[in-house]
Amino acid sequence: MANKPLLVIGGICVALALASFAGAWAIGEAAITEMEKVGVEEYIQGPNTSFAYEFTDSDGLGSAGWYLMMDGEYLDEDGDGLTDACQNVTFSITDSEGIDVTEDASLFSCQTSEDEFGVGDQMWDPLPDDGRIVFAYVCATVEEDVDYECFIGENYTITSDSQLYLFDNDELQLAYADGVVGLIGGGLLGAFSSCCCGLGGILLLIGLLTGGKPTQTVGYMPQQGVAPGMQVPDQGNQSMGQMPQQQYTVGADIDSSSVADVPVSAADAPVSVWDN
């Protein structure tokens, strides 16, 4: 006989796990669909020689910043570690008061690597095969390796003598944020479902393997040959394992009127056949 309480609890856990799996799948699918709708090209402006942007940090965790791009390829024919196309490009950044903050607010990189896994700007290019290259970064305060001095609410103007593109990486990351949160939520719900399913399976297994016949009351001995509903005579305080003792009274059935008052003498006693 199975353990019914454990089976019920295990069944509830498994049912809850299945429902959670379905919810996690739906959330994850919706998140992926949302992320697929994001178009990188929408966050690339240019070509132009001047761009003006206000620096913001909506989540307080730092900004992914703006990437400066130009037409070209990631080639280093002279082997100096710099991308040939951007070596001679210059730009400047001024704040709302017209103060040049190029050195404080930006990083000129222009690096490439023949090794596809090497350090280079192509690692951060959102569209590495579109005929444009990344060569500088502005106000990417989320990076810990570079100390960008950019202030929230400040307006920065980026100018150059060359035709440039500006990629707003911070806005792109914010557009992906909802999808990423959805994926994380779906993953956590999926993990909960797995735990719940595992627990339910264990409880079901234990419930099937445990249980059994009801335990008999200590001291109770089944009565053989007694039909259901019949009462068994009370045996008093009879000890377990002892046979019932029948009580007899000597002389209880003898009529006292038939008993002789005079004792039989030896002379009157019957003669035994063995006396001869």
Does the pLDDT value for residue 275 go beyond 90? no
Q: Which residue would you say has higher pLDDT here, 186 or 5? A: 5
Q: Which residue would you say has higher pLDDT here, 121 or 180? A: 121
Does the pLDDT value for residue 86 go beyond 90? yes
Q: Where are the alpha helices (DSSP H) in the chain?
A: 4-36, 102-105, 169-209
Does the pLDDT value for residue 91 go beyond 80? yes
Give residue 274's pLDDT. Answer: 45
Asked if residue 186 lies in contact with residue 192, where contact means CB atoms within 8 angstroms, the answer is: no
Does the pLDDT value for residue 88 go beyond 80? yes
82 three-class SS: strand
DSSP label at residue 124: T
Comparing 10-14, 80-84, 115-119, the range with the smallest average pLDDT is 115-119
Comparing 14-23, 168-177, 214-223, the range with the smallest average pLDDT is 214-223
Q: Which residue would you say has higher pLDDT here, 131 or 7? A: 131
Percent of the chain with pLDDT over 70: 58
**pLDDT per residue as tens digits for the range 221-247:** 555 555 555 555 555 555 444 555 555
Mean pLDDT for the stretch of residues 175-188: 65
Q: Which residue would you say has higher pLDDT here, 275 or 36? A: 36
Give residue 273's pLDDT. Answer: 47
Does the pLDDT value for residue 108 go beyond 80? yes
158 Cα distance to chain centroid: 46
Mean pLDDT for the stretch of residues 97-119: 86
Asked if residue 51 lies in contact with residue 157, where contact means CB atoms within 8 angstroms, the answer is: yes
* pTM > 0.85: yes or no: no
Give residue 204's pLDDT. Answer: 66
Q: How far apart are CA 34 and CA 37, in angstroms?
A: 5
- Please, what is the angle between helix 4-36 and helix 169-209, to 10°? 160
Mean pLDDT for the stretch of residues 42-71: 91
Give residue 14's pLDDT. Answer: 72
- Please report, as a single letter, which amino acid is at residue 20: S
Q: Which residue would you say has higher pLDDT here, 159 or 266? A: 159
**pLDDT per residue as tens digits for the range 120-142:** 899 999 998 899 999 999 999 99
Give, in order, the Cα–Cα distances in Å from 195 to each of 88, 192, 199, 215: 58, 5, 6, 35
179 pLDDT band, cuts 50/70/90, is low
Q: How far apart are CA 89 and CA 162, in angstroms?
A: 7
Mean pLDDT for the stretch of residues 249-258: 53
Asked if residue 133 lies in contact with residue 73, where contact means CB atoms within 8 angstroms, the answer is: yes
Q: What are the E-state strand segments in the chain?
A: 44-54, 66-71, 91-94, 106-108, 132-138, 155-168
Does the pLDDT value for residue 210 go beyond 70? yes
Hey, which residues does 71 pair with through a beta bridge?
Answer: 132
